[in-house]
Amino acid sequence: MSIYTENDATGLAALVAGGEVTPDELLDAALEQAAAWNPHLNAVVHMQEDVARAKIREGLPEGPFRGVPFLIKDLGCEAVDFPTNNGSKLCEGMRWGYDSTLFTRFRATGLNTFGRTTSPEFGVGPVTESQVYGAPTRNPWNLGHTSGGSSGGSGAAVAAGIVPAAHGSDGGGSVRIPAASSGLVGFKPTRARLPMGPGTGEGWGGMAIDGVLTRSLRDTAALLDAVAGPESGAPYAAPPMEEGFAAAMGHDPGRLRVRMVTTTFTGDAVHPDCVAGVENAARLLEDLGHVVEPWAPEDALDVPAMMWAWTRIVACGTAGRALKILGDRPLDPAMVEGVTRGAIAYAKTVSGTDYLDAVGQIHAFGRRMAHAFDDCDIILSPTLREPPCNVGYLKPDNDDWADYRNGAHSVFAYSPFTAIFNASGQPAVSLPLHWAGDLPVGVHFAAPFGADARLMSLCGQIERAAPWAEKQMEVIRRGPPA
């Protein structure tokens, strides 16, 4: 059904509203795409066709995405109708007793959820490889490579045309990394722009936030508009936006001052293909009238100290989740990944004082990053240090937590840009502006805290000047291997 794969979520909703297709027909098409692609990708799990059919019969809400098939990540986004593994054998088939605020808001748009997408265990890592799924999640552009993580299943499913948009979450780049790896739009809003409750007040010391992966910017904008907004009792609140995401993407942002980074924030070299993506984006920005200047981040930012604080916080968060699930039961090491075993061991070395100090370091880093925008409006960089890595390169079997996170061939070495803006809470986005052969290479844009509308406005200007839809369609039209 080419009408399904050739349209984004906004286009499909318009077809439903106009009576040209029915929600059942769209669900049929989504399931057909999943049947063709999922054996190669291992991206979609816990499919609940009966739930989706029942929602159609009951009458889907009259929202902006009525009838459009949707997938939620197999981590968080609590939903009564959808069991979860949270990426782990410890939780295999677990059921939630309530719907999260975010899922309730997604459902109110008329989206028709029919399954979940794969995640690494407890969302730790920039690749999606977890024993609970039996095999790694692969990139539809090149099956030998990762689709990213931790929302790697969502990235693969959207890139392959199984759904036009899917839920993701981002605690260290987990929306933007799959977007970069799979040729998609991945927008991380300002901290607390989206709800996390009622079961969770914050994730990883305030660094985690939910989001979506889409092919088109207008889908991202409309979905964020539909689910953004304060949640009663939340520990954080984002500054009010001067206009909505969709309104912002519809007009140019004015002349912006852009700092361009072509090394890591600590001065290390970046893969030439990633540098080329940034330099091409910089030329485009200059053609659009913006002022772009090279920037070497100051040592005073102290990114390594931030990453060690991040490492302690996430180790404690991962260990806490695993141990809470276990309760009084002993841990069977075979039930968790090596990285989780390493996190549990590492967390035992972190005292309460150490943890609070780490949170304080993250907050201090956020203040330092805020001042990095005193003389600019946007920071431009690669999303990743290299194109999407081979499957298995960052397999989570390393039980040395510190080495897996910060070693020579570690998560931070592979993804040195994204976690910076989780720590600062600032909005950031990866856009599909470059390809290295058959692999997508994302380009990353970040803005000051609360400046989501300005960032979205710039994204809209970029998409109008250098549209990416036809490039994305190459992999969908090609289809899965025979």
Closest CA to 412 of 279, 291, 314, 272: 314
Residue 96 corresponds to which tokens in the numbers above?
A: 């939630």
pLDDT of res. 1 = 55
Q: Which is the catalytic residue, given 88, 147, 150, 430?
A: 150
| pLDDT given at position 482 | 86
Verify whether residue 174 is a known catalytic residue. yes
pLDDT computed for residue 429 by the predictor: 99
Please confirm, yes or no, whether 150 is among the known catalytic residues. Answer: yes
Question: Kind of pairing, strands 209-214 and 165-170?
Answer: antiparallel
In whole angstroms, give the CA distance from residue 249 to residue 246.
5
Angle between helices 23-41 and 9-17 (to 10 degrees): 150
Instruction: Give the residue from 373, 251, 384, 364 showing the smallest Cα distance to 310.
Output: 364
3-state SS class at 122: helix
Global pTM reads 0.98
Residue 352 CB contacts under 8 Å (≥ 6 apart), including other chains: none
Query: What is the mean pLDDT, run by run of 10 residues, along the chain of 482 residues?
Result: 92 98 98 98 98 98 98 98 98 97 98 98 97 98 98 98 98 98 98 96 94 98 97 94 97 98 98 98 98 95 96 97 94 97 98 98 98 98 98 97 95 98 98 97 98 98 98 98 90
What is residue 288's predicted lDDT score, i.e. its pLDDT? 98
Query: What are the backbone angles phi and psi of residue 234, rounded to the nearest 5°?
Result: -65, 145
- Residues near 206 by beta carbon (within 8 Å), at least 6 away in sequence: 191, 235, 236, 362, 425
Catalytic, out of 55, 73, 89, 395: 73
Do 162 and 38 form a contact (C-beta atoms < 8 A)? yes
End-to-end Cα distance, the chain: 18
For the question of residue 415 being annotated catalytic, the response is no
Residues 6+ positions from 96 with CB-CB distance below 8 Å: 78, 79, 80, 82, 84
Q: Angle formed by the axes of helices 303-326 and 338-347, to 10°?
A: 100
Catalytic residue among 174, 182, 216, 430: 174
User: Which residues constitute the domain of residue 157?
Assistant: 2-478
Whichever domain contains 89, its CATH number is 3.90.1300.10
The reported pLDDT for the residue numbered 168 is: 98
In terms of Cα–Cα distance, which of 428, 430, 435, 466 is closest to 287?
466
Write out the E strands in 280-323: 291-294
**Residue 192 burial (CB < 10 Å; 0-12/13-18/19+)?**
buried
Q: Which of 146, 182, 140 is nearest to 389 (CA)?
A: 146
Domain count, the chain: 1
